[in-house]
Structures are given as C-alpha cells and as structure tokens.
A and B are shown apart, each in its own frame.
Chain A
Amino acid sequence: DAGVTQSPTHLIKTRGQQVTLRCSPKSGHDTVSWYQQALGQGPQFIFQYYEEEERQRGNFPDRFSGHQFPNYSSELNVNALLLGDSALYLCASSSWGGWTGNTIYFGEGSWLTVV
C-alpha cells in the first residue's frame, strides 16, 4: 500500500517563475492538505482540499493556489516566486475530518529552491 507520494523531490526555479507540485494521497484517503516548511521551522498550513474544493486556508497569499482532481490527487501552484518561497513543501492526506480523530499522513516533501 503506497503512502503519500509527492513529485518532484527537488527543483530549482528562478524568482518570478511559477511552480507546480504534485501529490497522490494514501489509498483510501480523500482529503489533501499542503504545508510549507522553511529551514529550521515547523510546517505551516497552506490549505486543505476535499471534494475538489478548497475547504480551509492558512495565512498564505493568493499566489499560492491548488487543485484537487477526481482521483483525489492534488497540485500546489505558486506564482511569481520569491526567494522566501524556498522551502520544503509537504502534502498530508487523511479521510475527511482528519484532525477530528483520523490519522493524517505526510509525504516526504518537495524541496523548492528559488534563486
């Protein structure tokens, strides 16, 4: 049983460019959340998707957007990249209502470096 898978694992982008990160949730999970983890910090919640809609959002600008597909996989898009967007981007999957008692699993993340 595959866990949460993310791609790519590492990438380098130039300031001002756009990036798309991808996530496939654990089998049986229908909810995907995205987190940003800067070096030396804990992960910060970006947003959560369920039934192809953004359900909750953290304190991130509109440059951060996402999408969920009918097969529950998800994409995170970041436009107009800034140097400060350099971070590990984590995908977490769960069943709907994850933090009300369901187990939440994280992928290994995508390392984004903006130069």
Chain B
Amino acid sequence: DAKTTQPPSMDCAEGRAANLPCNHSTISGNEYVYWYRQIHSQGPQYIIHGLKNNETNEMASLIITEDRKSSTLILPHATLRDTAVYYCITGGGADGLTFGKGTHLIIQP
C-alpha cells in the first residue's frame, strides 16, 4: 500500500499557483519526499525532492511541515502543460518507490 495520501483530483486556473497537498504521517526520519508527475502514456517526470527543509527549483517549490507528516507541492504559475497526474512518494525503505494513485491536476484555461 502507498505510504502517502493525496486528493484524487484538483482543478486550478491557468496562471494561478497550484498547491498540491500530500499526507505522509508514517514517514521515518531518513525518508525523503519525492514528487513526480506523469502525462498520459509517458514516463514519470522528476519534479523535486526534500528531507525536511523547504526546497525550490525551476519547476516548483516543496514545503514540508516541521513534523514532516505532510507536504505541499507548489507550481507557481500553472500552465495548460502542467495538466498531469502528480505523485507524492516517500522513499528509503526496501521496496523501492511506492507510488499511490496520485492527484490528477487539471489546469483550466
């Protein structure tokens, strides 16, 4: 079973910030939080990952709560091309990356 919980779907208006939440209440101290997205029929695309500090790169920002039990991925200015399934994953165990069903983000024009 996936170790993270995400809403199944979200909408966001084009040009606005998209905030995708993720709960990972059972995360252990050495596990990272990874975010990937997948556009239909393509391989998952790496977005960002972090351990406990907030992270930012050219694609997104990752905000991790102080207790590390949840995080939020922020796409600052969503475009139509950001429509995809977004996966929040915690890693560090013996079973590879455990993907859940993710959040289907739909960017509305």
Chain A residues engaging chain B, CB cutoff 8 angstroms: 4, 33, 35, 41-45, 48, 56, 58, 88, 90, 92, 98-101, 103-109, 111
Instruction: List the A residue with the shortest CB-CB distance to B98.
Output: A45
B46 close to A99 (CB less than 8 A): no
Q: Which of A42, A43, A103 contacts B49 (CB 8 A)?
A: A103
Bound-state Cα–Cα, A48 to B96, Å: 8
Interface centre among A43, A48, A107, by most chain B C-beta atoms within 10 angstroms, is A43
B30 close to A42 (CB less than 8 A): no
B34 close to A99 (CB less than 8 A): yes
Q: Give 7 nearest A-B pairs by CB, closest first.
A: A45-B96, A99-B91, A42-B99, A106-B43, A108-B43, A106-B44, A43-B99
Contacts of B32 in A (CB 8 A): 99-101
Instruction: List the B residue with the shortest CB-CB distance to A34.
Output: B96
Shortest distance in angstroms between A46's beta carbon and chain B's nearest beta carbon? 8
